[in-house]
Amino acid sequence: MESEHLKVAIRIRPLLNIDNTRDIAVYVSEQNEVKVLDGDHYLTSNYDMVFQPESSQEQVFTFIEPALIKTLKGFNCTVFAYGQTGSGKTHTMFGGNWEENNPAPQVYYKDTQGKKTEINILKSLQGPGIIPNSITKLFADTQTKQFTFYCSFIQIYNEHLYDLLHDPRRDKSLRIRENKLYGIFVEGLAEFVTESAEDCFLLLAKGDKNRAVRQTRFNHHSSRSHTIFQMLVETDKANRRGVMKKAKLNFCDLAGSEKYDKENSMAMEHVKELKEINKSLSVLGKVIHALGSGNNSHIPYRDSKLTRLLQDSLGVNTRTILIATISPAAVYAEETISTLKFADRAKQIMVKIKKNEVSATNDQLITKLQREIQHLKTLLNLNRKGGLQELEQKIWVLTEENQKLKHMKGTFTIQEVERLKEENKKLRLELQQAGITTNNEDLFIPPREEMTPKSTKINSGSLPESRNYSKGKPLDEDGNTLKPNSGSNISKSGPFVSRMCPKCKIYPPCIHTSGYTTNDVSKSLNSAYSSLKNNKIISRSIGSAIYQTEPHISKLEEPIKMNVRYKMTNYVLENDSTSAQLKEDEARKKELQNIRARLNKITELENYRKEQFRKEIRELEENKKKEDEESRRKITEDAKKKKKLEEKKRQVEEFRIAKKINDELEQLKAVEAKREADIKRKRDNEQKKIKLIEYYNKKKE
């Protein structure tokens, strides 16, 4: 596992007419240094890269391209744009004039008109952004390699998570989960299997149409939610070491921070959005500050849905790149300084990076593949025509095959797991070709033969009148009303809901129940298109701003539905339309599992008692061993003390003897000195006597 600093780039947008000024306060040196200088502010700092106003989208993409390529080798990557509202985040992530190419209305929900979307977004964008360029690059590099891509699109609006692809009305808020297999994920989030870059562009355009937007004083088309476009990359074949690579690629377009407008009255919903956006960005700033400080203090990931989702991108196993967008205008100097300070803290973060590899014989991977294959085969078999007997026979075959797979799970080889993944992928593609989805929400790939403007609204009144539609009555495969006691396999197996067309899986009126054919629909569409063919400009009102765009041409053919999977705690979201036989089998399996669970509990209890008994014996043995060791230790200590005492006694005795000898020697020396002194005194006295005698003798003479 390697570590590296979180990479930070600054992008300065050009001055715009909405700025109402030509004064700039941001200056750039040659060493990737940014200076903010005006009469009241001064700030200077260095970053990994600084993009000036004249920098192109290709230059920005070149900065993140090395990290993007590493995702194909199993490394996670997150790219997110941060900055004040109107500073160019969406322009950087999606591309120039993205709002005009894919206009979202100035309301919180607008149902998508028609089942078609402009598929080749790159041709109409004035410089594609990071996300379109990344999608194109990934699919270009994997043309000759076996990879599977899953795409999802989520928004965080007012601290609630919504699926942009399956829940445009925001009816159901999703929840964040975490487990060992997926890590941190959104439960129930739809993940679409994409075979080409065009499929990804379709999802991108559809999801962005459902995004919450509002006109602000900085931006006529301001995003009011954080969005995350996620791509999961998985290899279909194991490498020489028997492992499969997978990686997660996140593209985050954060909502911009905004101050409360005291001059103009803001709508209550606008104020609520402003508070929630600023709150989540404030929590993100706290998390960045805590991670950049380097201490072991608490990191408040759970204080916001945004930081919780980005938890693994802010320090754990993800190569993360921050694109901070700023305005050079002097009137926005405070907002620019705030963004640069955030970027300064972010570049201090150290992220740990490791390759995501899963053993091809991993039990969890095998179980996941088996359940998905069983689920997909069930959907295919229920959709194919045939009597009840044929359906029951297929169910029996699937049940037997499932039992074989369960017995084989412990002895799977790498080649067999690769075969499972390949079978899984083929089944999903067959589902897509057959026009089956696992949810009532249909997503259509754009048509390819006729031409129609993107913004054109087709009036259903131009179609021929319905002739065979029976309201409130179930229909058979030919669109006829079913009799109450009909022996149709549809009513018995129950794969279709009452009043739903068994062919196109939508509620009537449709071309099968209304009596009109595909040719009638094509003629009506062509006539509607011809009536609008001469219109060169189509206007769409967004609040007070009017967007005028050129007609966007899409190609028409029979719509193809895209396949989808859901991340759930049980790996796969099961279909409610499974036959009664499968339900009975599942009930038996559950009963057997309950019996096994009870037996396992009894066995575990017995093992627990045995383990407790063994534990008590081990404790007694350990206590006895400790007591023996303690007694041996005391004996050893007593012996050491006795030895030390004897040594001290010996030393005292030796000292006493030595002192006695010294005393005797001192006494002898004193006696000898006294004797010598007496001898000397006697000698001196004798000499004095001699001198006195000599003196008297001389005196007598």
Range in 124-133, 260-269, 595-604, 609-618 the model is least confident about: 260-269
Average pLDDT over residues 246-269: 75
Q: Which of the pair, 384 or 337, is modelled with greater confidence?
A: 337
* Residue 658 domain flag: no
* Residue 420 domain flag: no
90 carries a ligand binding annotation: yes
- pLDDT above 70 covers a percentage of the chain that reads 61
Q: Domain count of the chain?
A: 1
Q: Which of the pair, 639 or 258, is modelled with greater confidence?
A: 639
Which tokens belong to 195? Answer: 């075979």
- What per-residue confidence (pLDDT) applies to 403? 62
Spatial contact of 79 and 70, defined as CB atoms under 8 Å apart = no
Q: Mean pLDDT across the chain, nearest whole number?
A: 73
454 carries a ligand binding annotation: no
297 carries a ligand binding annotation: no
**What are the φ and ψ backbone dihedral angles of 236, each rounded to 5 degrees?**
-90, -20
83 carries a ligand binding annotation: yes
Spatial contact of 221 and 99, defined as CB atoms under 8 Å apart = yes
Can you tell me the distance from the alpha carbon of 62 to that of 6, in angstroms, rounded to the nearest whole number? 17
- What per-residue confidence (pLDDT) applies to 362? 58
* Residue 92 domain flag: yes
Spatial contact of 61 and 233, defined as CB atoms under 8 Å apart = no
Spatial contact of 210 and 581, defined as CB atoms under 8 Å apart = no
Q: Which of the pair, 451 or 437, is modelled with greater confidence?
A: 437
Residue 274: give its domain's CATH number: 3.40.850.10
pLDDT tens, position by position, 349-380 = 888 888 888 776 655 556 666 566 656 655 55
DSSP for 415-459, written as a single string: HHHHHHHHHHHHHHHHHHHHT--SSS---EEPPSSEEEETT----
pLDDT tens, position by position, 456-493 = 333 333 333 333 333 444 444 444 544 444 333 333 33
305 carries a ligand binding annotation: no
* Residue 204 domain flag: yes
Picking from 558, 518, 565, 103, the residue whose alpha carbon sits closest to that of residue 369 is: 565
pLDDT tens, position by position, 48-100 = 999 999 999 999 999 999 999 999 999 999 999 999 888 888 889 988 777 66
* Residue 70 domain flag: yes
* Residue 318 domain flag: yes
85 carries a ligand binding annotation: yes
87 carries a ligand binding annotation: yes
- What per-residue confidence (pLDDT) applies to 518? 46
pLDDT tens, position by position, 191-213 = 888 888 998 988 888 888 888 77
Q: Check: pTM over 0.85? Answer yes or no.
A: no
The count of residues in the chain is 701
* Residue 327 domain flag: yes
* Residue 202 domain flag: yes
pLDDT tens, position by position, 513-529 = 444 444 554 454 444 44
Provide the domain limits for residue 347. Answer: 2-359
Cite the beta strand spans of 201-312 per DSSP E: 213-214, 222-223, 226-235, 243-253
- What per-residue confidence (pLDDT) applies to 52? 92
**Predicted confidence band at 543 (pLDDT cuts at 50, 70, 90)?**
very low
pLDDT tens, position by position, 160-192 = 999 988 877 777 889 998 887 778 889 888 888
Which tokens belong to 486? Answer: 């009909």
548 carries a ligand binding annotation: no
The CA-based angle 248-249-253, given to 5 degrees, is 135
